[in-house]
Amino acid sequence: MRVAVIGGGPGGLYAAALLKRLDPAREVTVWERNAPDDTFGFGVVLSDETLGGIEHADPAVHDALRRHFVRWDDIDVVHRGRRHTSGGHGFAALGRQRLLDVLHQRCHDLGVDLRFRSPAPHPGRLAATHDLVVAADGIHSTTRQTWAEAFRPRVTAHRCRYIWLATDFAFDAFRFEIAETEHGVVQLHAYPYAPDASTVIVEMREEVWRAAGFDELGEEESTDRCAKIFAEALRGRPLRSHRSAWTTFRTVTTEHWSHGNVVLLGDAAHTAHFSIGSGTKLAVEDALALAACLREHPDRDTALAAYEEERKPVVASTQRAARASLEWFENLALYLDQPPRRFAFNLLTRSRRVTHDNLRLRDARFVEAVEREFGCPPGTPPMFTPFRLRGLTLRNRVVVSPMDMYSAADGLPGDFHLVHLGARALGGAGLVMTEMVCVSEEGRITPGCTGLYTGRQAEAWRRVTEFVHTRAPGTAIGVQLGHSGRKGSTRLMWEGMDEPLPDGNWPLVAASALPYRPGSQTPRELSRAHLTDLREQFTAAGRRAARAGFDLLELHCAHGYLLSGFLSPLTNRRTDAYGGSLDRRLRFPLEVFDAVRAVWPDERPMTVRISATDWAEGGTSADDAVEIARAFAAHGADAVDVSTGQVVAEERPEFGRSYQTPYADRIRHEAGVPVIAVGAISSWDDVNSLILAGRTDLCALARPHLYDPHWTLHAAAEQGYSGPGAVWPEPYRAGSRRPRTGRTDTPKPRLTLNP
């Protein structure tokens, strides 16, 4: 097999060494356009997991690297003159040039043909003359662009400028420092990579970079200016550069990683922001997986498919974490006024990979200090602290999210709803929300949806609220009012979600006469008179909700239903006073909110659920979401329930753990209104992390409560918490401890004698 490797960075070199080591008969050639001692950056951080893989795959490389590592455990966060240190993290780093030297030597020892100062031949030519082409040619990959239609790359530029520098002393921790300059916020990321050297990355928003004049400075002037900004952290010492230039980070994703006999590796296939130290790590892990798959599978095509199948989920997970970290630093100014320790906790948990529980294992004293600053009583996890909305105090921060059950007849909640909501109220959540309760018969999504458009329905709901208040005292129950708009008259979810009814359809209305998707019914655009009628329907439902005994009312302005349809520019094409600019698109939802608020008891809170992005080009943006939240808050909304999407059928959501939380976080800090975060929050550790970091005030969970109606009480038991934030109903108190699991938890018999 003839193998061509394009690019002599760590990933390409390590792939070449492994491919040659696993089969010495292979002819492996590496083309690198730079000299052997030419490199960018200074230090490289590798995880213990990656080092373990290197040790297993090639002990010689591991032994050579181990001699040069510097290790440390602490992270320092310095903000407004105060330094907070968190320990127990464990890092290993070495100089990038040292890493390259080790890999150069290993390739030389194995007989790899290294061609420095030699631009690679065109990828098409190499593909014609070699059995395998490994494209490790970086973020600006010529190979990726050559077959762009096959690889389907997507490159996203971001909002900060950064520069790689170094200093000639070793920091004693991974250091994050925030400088608030006259031009804006500047941040420093620094870590040691040798006994006498550290990498220093200086980063700032593009507008700060320009305002400070960095766009007009050369390399030396930029380096000196950065040293002055962080003179105290650098102990008055200078910074040095090596062909360092300000750049904007670009996230690269590719739909496919191989094409014929050509395969992408490292930054050519994907990038992840430097703030989680993952670029070299991912490239080295790619090389390990590629070499292993080529060894384990009988032919090249099967091996390349296996390589992609193995690595893509790992990389996607890392990229989600890196994107969260990147955006946290982009929006750093939002958090400057947080209490110092909480700010540090927020920074440490920014990627969602380090969590409250994980950080407590690493440094319990630090986490306990953050909890005290937050106001947690001793032994109380953040999720079990109370939260007040107007006249309602929730005993904990857990919300059972609204979930459509499609189990009503003629809009009437029955025994199923009593058992469903009652069970979750008994399960310990601070607030239990109904499904979307429709304000009219025509406003239902399906024939199985509940309503509040008759007195009989209100009485049926009173049966539910009285059960909750009587049998689960301390648990609040809220109602979500909505109208389906253009997404109505469809089948039950399990019969075909969003599919029109085969018969018995009712007419639909919406902001504009646009069907939800091809094959959906086209709604009638609402006239002024119809808008008045609809507002009255919401008002009447609000009165019935109050009489039914609900503690909180939420107005559903999300997910493409009627009020959401007014907010999004993709679904509102009106030319009257209710369409056009965001202010005008907000007009009718705000009119409805005001009308319902006027009849809803003053002491009871009222919230709004919004879709903070449509996940579609030209739709509601994160900036719009902040303005929407501000508008509702100005009209008296006590909190904003921040969801996303489901507005247009052609959406492309970026799913992942807690993937909607950044929108709630931004609204909370920019609009200054309490928020409810929702979306793939599945563990009590996530809830504690989000609450303590200040990214949300309440967490709404849906599927976890379908899996376990007693999710909140079990979360308390698993954390060893018993207190006012999680009260077991008396009949269930005997179940507040995890049951024994059989003989596995009994002492083992002695089968040997001690010497």
663 assigned to active site: no
pLDDT band at 751 (very low <50, low <70, confident <90, very high): low
**What CATH architecture is 2-331?**
3-Layer(bba) Sandwich (3.50)
Min mean pLDDT across 149-153, 595-599, 733-737 is at: 733-737
384-725 under CATH 3.40.50.300, yes or no: no
Helices and strands: H and E segment counts in the chain:
26, 28
Cα separation, 51 vs 39, in Å, equals: 22
Does residue 679 come out as left (phi exceeding 0), alpha (psi in the -120 to 50 range) or beta? left
User: Residue 478 pLDDT more than 70?
Assistant: yes
> Tens digit of pLDDT for each residue in 492-543?
988 988 899 999 899 999 999 999 999 899 999 999 999 999 999 999 999 9
pLDDT band at 750 (very low <50, low <70, confident <90, very high): low
> Tens digit of pLDDT for each residue in 350-372?
998 999 999 999 999 999 999 99
716, 722 contact by CB (below 8 A): yes
Taken as a whole, the chain contains a residue count of 755
Give the per-residue pLDDT at 381.
Answer: 97
What average pLDDT does this structure show over 421-437?
97
Query: What b/e string do you get for 384-417 counting C-beta neighbours within 10 Å, with b at 16 or more?
Result: bbebebeebebbbbbbbbbbbbbbbeebebeeeb
Distances (CA, A) of 481 to 88, 311, 457, 596: 48, 44, 13, 10
What average pLDDT does this structure show over 413-422?
97
Degrees to nearest 5, angle at CA 265 with 259 and 266: 145
Cα separation, 112 vs 222, in Å, equals: 40
pLDDT band at 711 (very low <50, low <70, confident <90, very high): very high
User: Residue 742 pLDDT more than 80?
Assistant: no
> Tens digit of pLDDT for each residue in 175-185?
999 999 999 99
Give the per-residue pLDDT at 739.
Answer: 74
Give the per-residue pLDDT at 746.
Answer: 59
Torsion angle (degrees, nearest 10) of CA 697, 84, 249, 318: -70
Position 446, amino acid: T
> Tens digit of pLDDT for each residue in 574-584?
999 999 999 99
The pair of structure tokens assigned to 291 is 């070499």
71, 87 contact by CB (below 8 A): no
pLDDT band at 277 (very low <50, low <70, confident <90, very high): confident
Residues of the chain with CATH 3.20.20.70: 384-725
> Tens digit of pLDDT for each residue in 47-59?
777 788 888 888 9
Percentage of residues in the chain having pLDDT higher than 90: 87
What average pLDDT does this structure show over 703-716?
96
pLDDT band at 744 (very low <50, low <70, confident <90, very high): low
CB atoms within 10 A of CB 702: 18
**Phi, psi (degrees; rounded to nearest 5) at 723:** 180, -170
The pair of structure tokens assigned to 423 is 């069970």
Cα 726 from chain centroid (whole Å): 28
Sheet of 27-32, strand order: 113-116, 27-32, 2-6, 132-135, 262-264, 258-259
Give the per-residue pLDDT at 205.
Answer: 97
> Tens digit of pLDDT for each residue in 664-708?
999 999 999 999 999 999 899 999 999 999 999 999 999 999 999
The pair of structure tokens assigned to 453 is 């458009």
Q: Which uninterrupted H or E stretch holds 161? A: strand 153-167
Give the per-residue pLDDT at 311.
Answer: 96
Residues facing residue 651 across a β-bridge: none
What average pLDDT does this structure show over 319-339?
94
400, 701 contact by CB (below 8 A): yes
HSE-CB for 107 with a 13 A CA cutoff: 28
Give the per-residue pLDDT at 55.
Answer: 85
Active-site option among 162, 453, 561, 578:
561
Cα separation, 691 vs 383, in Å, equals: 7
Cα separation, 189 vs 319, in Å, equals: 19
Give the per-residue pLDDT at 753.
Answer: 61
Cα separation, 67 vs 97, in Å, equals: 14
> Tens digit of pLDDT for each residue in 84-99?
999 999 888 999 999 9
Cα 234 from chain centroid (whole Å): 33
Position 106, amino acid: R
Residues of the chain with CATH 3.50.50.60: 2-331
Angle between helix 684-693 and 711-718 (nearest 10): 80
The pair of structure tokens assigned to 425 is 């109220």
Torsion angle (degrees, nearest 10) of CA 620, 624, 630, 632: -20
SS (H, E, C) 400-421: ECCCCCCCCECCECCHHHHHHH
User: Residue 748 pLDDT more than 70?
Assistant: no
User: Residue 635 pLDDT more than 60?
Assistant: yes
